[in-house]
Amino acid sequence: MNYCSHCGAPVHYAIPDGDNRERHICTACDTIHYLNPKIVAGCIPVWEDKLLLCRRAIEPRHGLWTLPAGFMEQGETLSDAARRETREEANAEVELDELHTVITLPHVSHVQMLFRARLTAPVFSPGVETLETQLFREEEIPWDELAFETMRRTLRHFFADRRRGLFQLHVEDIPQAPPKGG
Amino acid sequence: MNYCSHCGAPVHYAIPDGDNRERHICTACDTIHYLNPKIVAGCIPVWEDKLLLCRRAIEPRHGLWTLPAGFMEQGETLSDAARRETREEANAEVELDELHTVITLPHVSHVQMLFRARLTAPVFSPGVETLETQLFREEEIPWDELAFETMRRTLRHFFADRRRGLFQLHVEDIPQAPPKGG
Ligand SMILES: [Zn+2]
Ligand SMILES: [Zn+2]
């Protein structure tokens, strides 16, 4: 950040009065510009014993598989965001169940929040950011071609919980980018 | 938003190629400036059969009671944010238990996420944004002097779950500002 989005004057980086962190502060109008983590909302769409994955048509991780998820928008609820992303990426309608994972990635300031969900019908197709949509049984999951470490963890927890017959919420962090995946 | 924070040129409001919403787009460098919901992280600090509340020394809701919570910062985890806010507002150390409420306020684009937590010692005092800190039993909670509807709901769920002997996660939305409280 170099300029004030309110008045266009240059910003400087300093600790505001009463704060304890450096912020971008406007040199003209004194507006303090805060940066905040982003929420990635999505779901695990289930049909019978299978899950719906999407193969990414966009960077990062073009060509790799992911659960439908994306940035929550201003003015929507967390649930609406999860359903909207599923609609946009997979042309699929879901009914959301419980929240399944809340995973923080502090190095990129993302908090990924994925619900378990049921497809209302086995109807889906690639959205504009998707190359391919497909239902997978557990033994068919393309573990080596998953786009993100967060998705790998979410799927692992899902199958472990399902085998145990007890779903629960998993709140965890991925402290820094792993060597492969993200 | 009026100016590009990257180059200082004016922005216009339009739908970028491949998007479906209006965004602020720079007229000079084409940077798209996204706005995203903010996470409010905090906790319910428990000591024996009591909870710790803070009386606010800042607006909004100056003088009213709240659980310790505030905006999550870039680069921290959700848990770190909840513990930091408790330290800043109440000079108290907590061990976090499970996530208890995830409440979206779409009209202000906030997602409030509160953990249940245990004070590591009955040691607390007002931070700079707090007038007073106090432990309350259920029957002592100042229900009519709570700062936010989100806190009222979080406390109601907490006591209902405790009576039932089973804590769970509550994911819900407050679709628009209620007539009183927020
Ligand atoms: Zn300014
Ligand atoms: Zn620009």
- Domains detected in chain B: 1-34 (2.20.70.10), 38-173 (3.90.79.10)
Average predicted confidence (pLDDT) for chain A = 95
Q: Does the CB of A79 have a partner CB in chain B at under 8 Å?
A: yes
- What pLDDT was estimated at residue B180? 57
Query: Which tokens go with B131?
Result: 């007038």
Ligand nearest to the CA of residue B10, numbered in listed order: 2
Asked if pLDDT for residue B177 goes beyond 80, the answer is: no
Rounded Cα distance, B35 and B56, in Å: 28
Burial degree of B128 (CB within 10 A; 0-12, 13-18, 19+): exposed
Per residue in B22-65, pLDDT (tens digit) is 999 999 999 999 999 999 999 999 999 999 999 999 999 999 99
CB within 8 Å: A173 and B107: no
- What pLDDT was estimated at residue B20? 87
- What are the distances in angstroms from CA B163 to CA B61, B141, B156? 30, 16, 11
Mean pLDDT of A28-57: 97
Residues 6+ apart with CB under 8 A from A39: A71, A72, A78, A81, A110, A111, A112, A113, B36, B37, B39, B111
Residues 6+ apart with CB under 8 A from B81: B39, B41, B70, B72, B73
Q: Which residue has the tokens 């003209």?
A: A28
Q: Which residue has the tokens 């739908």?
A: B15
Q: Can you give the three-state secondary structure of A33-81, one letter per residue?
A: ECCCCEEEEEEEEEECCEEEEEEECCCCCCCCEECCEEECCCCCCHHHH
- What are the distances in angstroms from CA B47 to CA A107, B51, B120, B155, B182? 33, 6, 8, 15, 27
CB within 8 Å: A74 and B6: no
User: Hey, of B2, B7, B36, B176, which one would you mutate to test binding to chain A, going by the most A CBs within 10 A of its CB?
Assistant: B36
User: Hey, of B74, B89, B115, B176, which one would you mutate to test binding to chain A, going by the most A CBs within 10 A of its CB?
Assistant: B74
pLDDT band of A182, cuts 50, 70, 90: very low
Q: Are B148 and A38 in contact (CB under 8 A)?
A: no
The interface pTM score, or ipTM, of the predicted complex is: 0.92
